[in-house]
C-alpha cells in the first residue's frame, strides 16, 4: 500500500533537501583550495579601503568602517558586484534586515519585523536582477564571466540533473550575506580593540606582518603562502574570539533524548548553545580573563571547548573565508598604523554580535616607513 505523505511532511522534506544541497554547494565553494586565488583580491580591496576611508583622518570608528569593508568584500566575492552605489544600496537594506532578525515577529506596517520583510523582498529582487544578467552573459558564452559563487550556483545541477531555480540561488546568496554581515566585522573590531589594549601583543603582530611586507615587491599583493606565515597573528585573532565571540550562539533541535546535569532534554526541543559557556571556563582555559594568544600554540584547546564557528558537522562553512578576510585586513592596518582607543572604557551592546556602543573610535598614528 502506498504511503500518503501529508503536506507538512512533504514541505519539511523538501526544505531539508534544499538545505543540504545549499550547504554542500557553499562548503565546496569555500574550501581553502578554492579560496586561494581570492587572497590578492582581498588584499587589493583592503588597501583601497584603508587609503580612502582611514588614511585621510586622524580619528576613525572601527566598527562601521570594518562593516563597510566586509560587506563590499562579500558583494564582490559572491556576486561580483563592485559598483559603490549598488553595494551601498544593498548594505542599507541589509541593515534593516539584521535589525529585524531578533525582533518581535509582528508583521504589521511600522514594526521592525515588517520593515525587515519588505527590505528582504527588495534585496531578493535586486539579486534576481543580477542573476538574470549573469545568465545572459553565460548564454552568450562571454569569456569574461565572473567565476564567483553566483556563477558556480548557476552552473550547478541538482540530483535530477536540472539547474537550480533562481529563487533558491537568491536565497542562498542572501543567507551568506546575512551570515557574515556583522560577525566578521565584529571579529575585526575586537582584534583592533585588543591590539590597542596590549602593546606587547601589537609589537609581535607588527613584527610578523612587517617581515611579510618587506619580503614583497612594491606592487606585489598577498598570496596564500603569506597567509600561512601569519601564525602568531591568527593566534591573536583566536584569543580575541575566545574572549569576545563574534556570535552569541544559535539554536539547535534535539534529535534524541539526552540528560545533561541531571536534566532530561526531550527529542524535538529547541536548545540554545553559546560559546561563553566554555570560552571563559577555567576548567578548559587557565586564567580565562587574561588575553594570552600563546594558549593556541601547539595542539591548542580541547575539542568542542573553543567554538566561535560552532562545532561538528554544522560548523560554519565560511570559517576559512573569515580567516582570510581578517588576516588580510589585519596585515594592512597593522603595517600602516598604530592606534589608541579614544574611549578607554567603552561599553558593549549585544545583538546578533557584540558591538562597541560608540563604534570603537580610535586615534590613528601612521607609521613613518614606506
Summarize pLDDT for 228-255 with one digit per residue, the tens: 999 999 999 999 999 999 988 888 889 9
290, 293, 294, 295: CA torsion to nearest 10: 70
- Asked if residue 280 has pLDDT above 70, the reply is yes
Domain ranges of the chain: 1-366
Alpha carbon distance 96, 120 (integer Å): 9
Nearest in space to 275 (alpha carbons), one of 314, 306, 301 = 306
Q: Looking at the whole model, is its pTM more than 0.85? A: yes
Average pLDDT over residues 303-324: 85
Minimum mean pLDDT range among 153-157, 186-190, 336-340: 153-157
Name the band, by pLDDT with cuts 50, 70 and 90, for residue 140: confident
Kindly list the distances between the CA atom of residue 129 and the CA atoms of 181, 182, 260, 274, in Å, as whole numbers in the listed order.
21, 25, 49, 38
Instruction: Read off the C-alpha cell for 289.
Output: 580573563
| CB within 8 Å of 13: residues ≥ 6 apart | 5
- Asked if residue 130 lies in contact with residue 76, where contact means CB atoms within 8 angstroms, the answer is no
**Could you say which of 1.10.630.10, 1.10.1040.10, 3.40.50.1980, 1.20.120.450 is the CATH number of the domain covering 1-366?**
1.10.630.10
Predicted local confidence at residue 1, as pLDDT: 43
- Asked if residue 231 lies in contact with residue 287, where contact means CB atoms within 8 angstroms, the answer is no
pLDDT tens digits, residue range 27-44? Answer: 777 888 888 889 999 999
Instruction: Compare 127 and 352 and report the one with higher pLDDT.
Output: 127
Predicted local confidence at residue 318, as pLDDT: 82
- Asked if residue 15 has pLDDT above 70, the reply is no
Alpha carbon distance 232, 209 (integer Å): 10
pLDDT tens digits, residue range 166-220? Answer: 888 888 888 888 876 778 999 999 999 999 999 999 999 999 999 999 999 888 9
Average pLDDT over residues 288-297: 94
- Asked if residue 361 has pLDDT above 70, the reply is yes
Q: Is 316 annotated as a binding residue?
A: yes
Alpha carbon distance 309, 78 (integer Å): 20
334, 192, 36, 48: CA torsion to nearest 10: -60
Minimum mean pLDDT range among 18-27, 191-200, 281-290: 18-27
pLDDT tens digits, residue range 73-94? Answer: 999 988 988 888 888 888 899 8
Instruction: Read off the C-alpha cell for 105.
Output: 515577529
Amino acid at each position: 500500500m502506498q504511503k500518503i505523505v501529508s503536506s507538512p511532511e512533504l514541505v519539511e522534506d523538501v526544505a531539508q533537501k534544499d538545505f543540504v544541497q545549499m550547504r554542500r554547494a557553499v562548503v565546496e565553494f569555500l574550501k581553502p583550495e578554492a579560496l586561494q586565488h581570492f587572497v590578492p583580491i582581498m588584499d587589493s580591496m583592503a588597501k583601497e579601503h584603508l587609503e580612502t576611508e582611514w588614511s585621510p583622518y586622524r580619528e576613525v570608528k572601527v566598527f562601521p568602517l570594518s562593516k563597510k569593508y566586509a560587506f563590499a568584500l562579500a558583494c564582490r566575492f559572491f556576486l561580483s558586484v563592485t559598483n559603490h552605489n549598488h553595494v551601498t544600496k544593498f548594505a542599507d537594506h541589509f541593515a534593516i534586515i539584521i535589525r529585524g532578525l531578533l525582533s518581535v515577529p509582528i508583521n504589521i506596517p511600522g514594526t521592525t519585523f515588517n520593515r525587515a520583510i519588505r527590505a528582504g523582498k527588495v534585496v531578493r529582487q535586486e539579486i534576481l536582477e543580477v542573476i538574470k544578467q549573469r545568465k545572459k552573459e553565460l548564454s552568450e558564452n562571454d569569456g569574461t564571466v565572473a567565476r564567483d559563487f553566483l556563477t558556480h550556483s548557476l552552473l550547478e545541477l541538482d540530483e535530477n540533473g536540472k539547474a537550480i531555480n533562481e529563487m533558491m540561488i537568491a536565497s542562498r546568496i542572501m543567507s551568506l550575506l546575512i551570515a557574515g554581515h556583522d560577525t566578521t566585522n565584529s571579529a575585526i573590531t575586537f582584534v583592533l580593540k585588543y591590539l590597542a589594549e596590549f602593546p606587547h601583543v601589537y609589537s609581535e603582530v607588527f613584527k610578523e606582518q612587517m617581515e611579510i611586507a618587506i619580503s614583497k615587491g612594491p606592487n606585489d599583493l598577498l598570496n596564500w603562502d603569506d597567509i600561512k606565515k601569519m601564525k602568531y597573528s591568527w593566534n591573536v585573532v583566536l584569543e580575541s574570539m575566545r574572549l569576545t565571540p563574534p556570535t552569541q550562539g544559535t539554536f539547535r533541535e534535539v534529535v534524541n533524548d539526552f540528560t545533561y546535569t541531571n536534566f532530561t532534554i526531550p527529542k524535538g526541543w529547541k536548545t540554545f548553545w553559546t560559546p561563553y559557556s566554555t570560552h571563559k571556563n577555567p576548567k578548559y582555559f587557565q586564567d580565562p580573563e587574561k588575553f594570552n594568544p600563546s594558549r593556541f600554540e601547539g595542539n591548542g584547546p580541547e575539542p568542542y571547548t573553543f567554538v566561535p564557528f560552532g562545532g561538528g558537522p554544522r560548523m560554519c562553512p565560511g570559517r576559512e573565508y573569515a580567516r582570510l578576510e581578517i588576516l588580510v585586513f589585519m596585515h594592512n592596518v597593522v603595517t600602516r598604523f598604530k592606534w589608541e582607543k579614544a574611549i578607554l572604557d567603552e561599553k558593549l551592546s549585544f545583538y546578533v554580535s557584540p558591538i562597541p556602543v560608540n563604534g570603537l573610535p580610535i586615534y590613528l598614528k601612521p607609521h613613518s616607513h614606506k
